Amino acid sequence: MTVIDFAENSIKAISSTRVVLEGAIKPATILYSSRSGKIIEIYVDQVLDSVSHPLLRLYDVRVCENVSPKVILPGLVDSHVHLNEPGRTEWEGFATGTQAACSGGVTTVVDMPLNAIPPTTTIENFNIKLDAARDQLWCDVAFWGGMIPGNLDHLIPLVRAGVRGFKGFLIDSGVDEFPAIDRAYIKKALSALKDCKTLLAFHAELQIDDNLHTIADSEELKKIRSMDGKKGATKKQGDSLALSHVLSPAEPRAGIPSHLVHNDDVIESPLETAAVLDKELSKVDPCLYSSFLLSRPDRFETDGISMILKCLKDIMKKNAGKVPPVHIVHLASMDAIPIIRQAHKEGLPITAETCFHYLSLAAENIPKSATHFKCCPPIRTEVNRVALWNAVRAGVITSVVSDHSPCTPELKSLAKGDFFSAWGGISSVGLGLSLLYTKSRSMKPVVSLTEIVKWCCENTAEQVGLQHRKGFLRIGYDADIAVFDTDARQRIDNSSVYYKNKLTAYHGLTLDGVVMKTIVRGKVAFSYGKGPSNAPHGQTLLEPRFA
């Protein structure tokens, strides 16, 4: 039963002819309390715009806002964000990261366990992170725990402390404090957590087997090699790029690790180091995006996902089917889609997400030396982009997230334009709704806003066990609301983004749709033209998972 709170005229109303409710767009009026932070009542098919209306007088509503024809939708739940605090706050931080989230209608983010120091791999480390977050949150923040060698005994305590799930790398993450895990660890974690309400998420890139000396050619690889004409890599050079252990870490490792320096003049190129071991690489141009793309072939992802599924099947057999579900983060390769689809047919508990950049950007359009487009897994071809869209619409990929992973401009190796030296990651939290809406209009059939809400609100909330209070506009749920003007347009400019480091791959892009207001648990967190609220109202979400 919902408790009605009349204290201090805390109940407000917002209405529109277009409200996203339960998979449909309907006229509605939503009543919510700024005191309890909950949705109190929803009048479907009624667009109320006066506090004198009897239905609003019943609740002593003093503020009623009709935002028609703008769309009212649930606040987005971005379940993949790197806020980098504490330890690397020059990259981002709780304050700027959550302000940026609110600017795009995101009311909940789930912070990843790495790129902060210390990582969220023990209770002690988690408490340090929670202390750092205090009084800095403009939206609500939940947390992922980390899986690293040696921390198996910390997983269950972290579940009890409120982490939504765990993330691990199958490949060198590029940061010392977050090493990769192996098959043995994965199997032990699946067994240890079999009775827990949690989720195991994986950066599913896997170094190609040492015994392989060539990569099977494909039309896609031929297309990548031809992107830069005669300047591009040869088949033999492409094989060397893909097989190099020097180039495989998710972030640069050769020379002085890029995350430990603050001047790109002293970052040594991993490609130069790799060329010492393999002369084939000496003439590869590190400033061509095609060179970088060839170094991370689709097989990195398909091999990684196949390994995870093998571990999952082994432990399901051992434990009579009892395992926590697994999740593939930032899926970028269309070659992985049939593998995920087959796993679903077999009834395996696996889900996958993709990212805004994989659905909106294509390798063919990335200029030479444009290292701000680098991420791992990489942005692939236009054919691949369309295939990912189709997989999302078909439900093979269930959620779309930002994987907001910022750094300082120096770490992007902008002066050199060397993709192999650059830190990988794209800053995009808060841009996703407009990015998807813009791309959706060119799809056939056109993607609906209800689909976007499903991918970015409902499914992401369910993914992290928050579907009982987030992701939907329902009575008793948190009053997390975004007001979206589908008729407005915005030009993304580095100077106007809310990130600590004013750098994004979307600079200069004109997008359809603008978030006009973001409400977090009944309080305005962002208003277009005014910016973020003066005071933060976000909370840390530490309750046990719903499922």
For 339-379, how does the pLDDT look when each residue is reduced to its tens digit (9 = 90+)? 999 999 999 999 999 999 999 999 999 999 999 999 999 99
Do the domain assignments include residue 483?
no
Q: Give me the chain's average pLDDT, please.
A: 94
On the question of pLDDT at 256 being above 60, the answer is no
User: Mean per-residue pLDDT for 455-467?
Assistant: 98
Do the domain assignments include residue 148?
yes
Q: Is the same domain home to 325 and 377? A: yes
Do the domain assignments include residue 493?
no
Do the domain assignments include residue 498?
no
Q: Contact 174/246 with Cβ under 8 angstroms?
A: no
- Structurally, the chain folds into a number of domains equal to 3
Q: Is the same domain home to 354 and 404? A: yes
Of the CA atoms within 13 Å of residue 122, those in its CB half-sphere come to 10
Q: In degrees rounded to 5, what are phi and psi of residue 486?
A: -75, -15
Residue 1 has a pLDDT of 40
Of 275, 294, 313, the residue that ends a domain is 294
Higher pLDDT, 262 or 273: 273
Residue 219 has a pLDDT of 87
Do the domain assignments include residue 491?
no
What span, in angstroms and rounded, lies between the C-alpha atoms of 250 and 256? 15
Do the domain assignments include residue 231?
yes
Q: Is the same domain home to 200 and 337? A: yes
Residue 262 has a pLDDT of 47
Q: Is the same domain home to 266 and 123? A: no
What span, in angstroms and rounded, lies between the C-alpha atoms of 469 and 520? 12
Q: Is the same domain home to 314 and 181? A: yes
For 278-291, how does the pLDDT look when each residue is reduced to its tens digit (9 = 90+)? 999 999 999 999 99
Q: Is the same domain home to 344 and 391? A: yes
Q: Is the same domain home to 335 and 203? A: yes
Look at phi and psi of residue 19 and say left if phi exceeds 0, alpha if psi is from -120 to 50, else beta.
beta
CB atoms within 10 A of CB 122: 21
Do the domain assignments include residue 524?
no
On the question of pLDDT at 439 being above 60, the answer is yes
pLDDT band at 381 (very low <50, low <70, confident <90, very high): very high
Q: In degrees rounded to 5, what are phi and psi of residue 140?
A: -75, 145
Do the domain assignments include residue 21?
yes
Q: Is the same domain home to 261 and 324? A: no
**What's the CA angle centered on 517, arms 59 and 83, to 5 degrees?**
120
Of the given ranges (142-151, 287-296, 439-448), which has the lowest mean pLDDT?
439-448
Residue 486 has a pLDDT of 98
On the question of pLDDT at 424 being above 80, the answer is yes
pTM: 0.95
| CATH code (residue 368) | 3.20.20.140
What span, in angstroms and rounded, lies between the C-alpha atoms of 352 and 328? 5
User: Mean per-residue pLDDT for 259-278?
Assistant: 72
For 475-493, how does the pLDDT look when each residue is reduced to its tens digit (9 = 90+)? 999 999 999 999 999 999 9
Higher pLDDT, 265 or 341: 341
User: Mean per-residue pLDDT for 69-85?
Assistant: 98
pLDDT band at 209 (very low <50, low <70, confident <90, very high): confident
User: Mean per-residue pLDDT for 244-266?
Assistant: 65
Q: Is the same domain home to 430 and 467? A: yes
Q: Contact 268/421 with Cβ under 8 angstroms?
A: yes
Domain with 14, as residue range(s), is 7-69
Q: Is the same domain home to 353 and 339? A: yes
On the question of pLDDT at 529 being above 70, the answer is yes
Of 252, 278, 294, the residue that ends a domain is 294
Of 294, 320, 345, the residue that ends a domain is 294
Give the list of residues 6+ apart from residue 347 with CB closer than 8 angstroms, or none. none
Q: Is the same domain home to 279 and 182? A: no
Q: Is the same domain home to 138 and 257? A: no
